[in-house]
Amino acid sequence: MYTNEQLNAIYASKIGLEFEFFANEGMDEVKRSLSQTLNKQIRVEEKAHSEFTPSDEIFKLEPDNSGGSGMIELVTGPMPFVESKLIIAKTLKWIRENGSTNDRCSIHINVAFDGKKLGTPTNVSSLDIGKFVLNFNEDAVYEAFPNRKDSVYAKSIKFIVPLSGMTQPTPGKISWKNYMFVSEKYYGVNFSKLPKNYIEFRYLGGKDYEKKYNTIMNMTEHFVLSLYESLVDPSYNEKDIKKLDAILEQHKGIVESYKAYKTFQRNFPKVKLMVDLQTYDQIVETYYPKMREKIFELLTNAGLTEGLINYDSDTGRMQLKNAELMKCFEIKGIDIVDSKIQGNILNCDIFSTELINSSMIECNLFGATDAIDSKIEDSYVSKNVSVKDSYVFGVRGVFSGDMEGGIFRKGRATDLAKFENTEIIEIEKI
C-alpha cells in the first residue's frame, strides 16, 4: 500500500517511453495501425536516434537494428503517469497481436516530475546520484526481469569507487566529487539525461516483455518513487553513511597501497609489477609514482587481485597479463594479454584474451582473442579473432575476424572476414 505522499508523487510524474520490437508488417502499416490504436500522430523517421523530439501528442517510429534487421522503436514524448499507463497497455497489446520481441529488445522508462502538482522541489537535474545509487533497490528489478541481470545493455549501477588515491576523511560529510559511479548509457539507469531534467531506466525488456504489463507497471512505479525519494530527501542519513563506510573499508587496502610500493606489495602479493619487464624492487619503486594512477584504476574499476603489470618507460603505457576480471567497471588505455574479462573496455589493445558479456569501444582485438555475447564498437578486429553471438557496429572499425551468430549492424570488413549465421545489416567491403 502506498502512502498519500507516494500516490501524489506517482500521479505527478511525467513518463516518456521507448519500445523496441519487431512487427509483422512494414513501417507504413505499423504507423497507421499504431496511430489508430494509440490515438496519436506518429512520424516515421529514416534512421535511429533522429533529431525529431516527440511530444505527448506526436510520437515517432524509427528503425533500430541493434536487435537485428527489422527492429522498430516507438518513442513517445513525456506524458502524465495516468496517460502513460494507458499507452503502455495499448502498445504491449498491439505488439502481442502484431509483432514480437527477442532478448535484445528493451522498453525504456524516462521519468520526470510536474513540480507544480507536487508543490515540492523535484527538479531531476539536481539529483544527487550518489544518494540515488546507494538507496535504489536494484535487486527488485532483477528479480522481476532476471534475464536482464548482467546484460551488456543494462548493467548494474551498484558500482562506486573512490577516485585516485582519495578517501573521505569525514564520513558524515559526504562529497560525491570524491567518488566515481556509472555514467554511460549501457547501464540500468542512464544518468546522462540529467541536464535535460529526467533520467532513463533501461532495465526492462527481453523476449516476450509485451506479456508482462503488470510487472512493467510495478517497476515503473518503483522507478518513480525511488527517484522522488532521493530528490525530496537528498541529505545522507546514518544508513547511507554506514553503506559508504562499508565501501571505504572495502577499498582501505587500495587507498593505503596508493601511497607506497612496499605497502602495495604487502596488500596485493598476487599482483606482480615490472618496469620494462624487469622485476627489481629498486627500479619498480622508482617508477611507482608514474604507475600508481593506472594501477589504482585496475584495482578499483576492474577488481584486479591477481596478474602481471608491466610499465613501458619509453611509451608510458602499461600491459596487463594473466588477469581474470569478471566484474570490470572500466579498463582504458592499456594492453591486455592472456586474460579473461567481463566488463567495459576502452581504447585498449587486446591479445589472446577471452571477453564475455563485455563492451569494447575503440579497441584493437588481435589473434586468439574470443569475444562472446559482447558489444564491439568502432574497433579493429584482426584475423584469428573469434566473435560469437555479439553486436558489432561503427564505421571507424575494421573487421577481419570470424563471426558466428550475432548482428553486424554497420561497419567495414576485409576479405579475411568470415561470417556464419550472422545477421549483416550494412557492411562496406574494403
Q: Which helix (H) or strand (E) holds 330?
A: strand 324-332
User: Are residues 306 and 274 part of one domain?
Assistant: yes
Take residue 233 and report the three cell numbers written for it. Answer: 530527501
Residues 325 and 312 sit within 8 Å (Cβ to Cβ): no
User: Are residues 384 and 332 part of one domain?
Assistant: yes
How distant, in Å, are the alpha carbons of 5, 190, 323 from that of 108?
25, 10, 35
DSSP 190-223: EGGGGGGT-EEE---B-TTGGG-HHHHHHHHHHH
Paired residues of 274 in beta bridges: 310
User: Are residues 356 and 256 part of one domain?
Assistant: yes
Question: What integer pLDDT is reported at residue 12 of this predicted model?
Answer: 94
The torsion angles phi and psi of 10, rounded to 5 degrees, stand at -60, -45
Question: What integer pLDDT is reported at residue 169 of this predicted model?
Answer: 43
User: Are residues 227 and 362 part of one domain?
Assistant: no
The cell 548482467 sits on which residue? 150
Residues 6 or more apart from 139 whose CB is under 8 A from it? none
User: Are residues 40 and 186 part of one domain?
Assistant: yes
User: Are residues 281 and 155 part of one domain?
Assistant: no
Residues 160 and 180 sit within 8 Å (Cβ to Cβ): yes
User: Are residues 83 and 56 part of one domain?
Assistant: yes
Cα torsion angle, 236, 240, 241, 245, sign:
negative
Question: What integer pLDDT is reported at residue 171 of this predicted model?
Answer: 44
The residue segments making up the domain with residue 129 are 4-241
User: Are residues 223 and 259 part of one domain?
Assistant: no
Take residue 237 and report the three cell numbers written for it. Answer: 542519513
Residues 392 and 412 sit within 8 Å (Cβ to Cβ): no
Question: What integer pLDDT is reported at residue 177 of this predicted model?
Answer: 59
Question: What integer pLDDT is reported at residue 143 of this predicted model?
Answer: 93
The torsion angles phi and psi of 168, rounded to 5 degrees, stand at -95, 105
Among 192, 215, 241, residue at a domain's last position: 241
Number of domains composing the chain: 2
Residue 404 lies in a domain: yes
Question: What integer pLDDT is reported at residue 18 of this predicted model?
Answer: 97
User: Are residues 11 and 157 part of one domain?
Assistant: yes
Mean pLDDT by 10 residues, the chain (430 residues): 91 96 92 95 87 93 76 95 97 96 91 82 85 90 86 71 53 58 73 92 94 97 96 85 72 78 92 94 93 86 90 94 85 95 92 92 95 94 94 93 92 95 90
Residue 296 lies in a domain: yes
b/e map 138-147, b = 16+ CB within 10 Å: beebbebbee
Among 174, 207, 241, residue at a domain's last position: 241
- Its pTM stands at 0.73
User: Are residues 396 and 296 part of one domain?
Assistant: yes
Residue 246 lies in a domain: no
User: Are residues 339 and 421 part of one domain?
Assistant: yes
User: Are residues 398 and 267 part of one domain?
Assistant: yes
Angle of CA points 409, 101, 35, to nearest 5°: 95
Residue 38 lies in a domain: yes
Among 241, 260, 286, residue at a domain's last position: 241
Q: Helices 4-11 and 81-98: crossing angle, nearest 10°?
A: 60
How distant, in Å, are the alpha carbons of 26, 343, 430 from that of 29?
6, 40, 37
b/e map 407-423, b = 16+ CB within 10 Å: bbbbbbbeeebebeebb
Take residue 154 and report the three cell numbers written for it. Answer: 543494462
Q: Cα–Cα distance between 31 and 29 in angstroms, integer?
A: 5
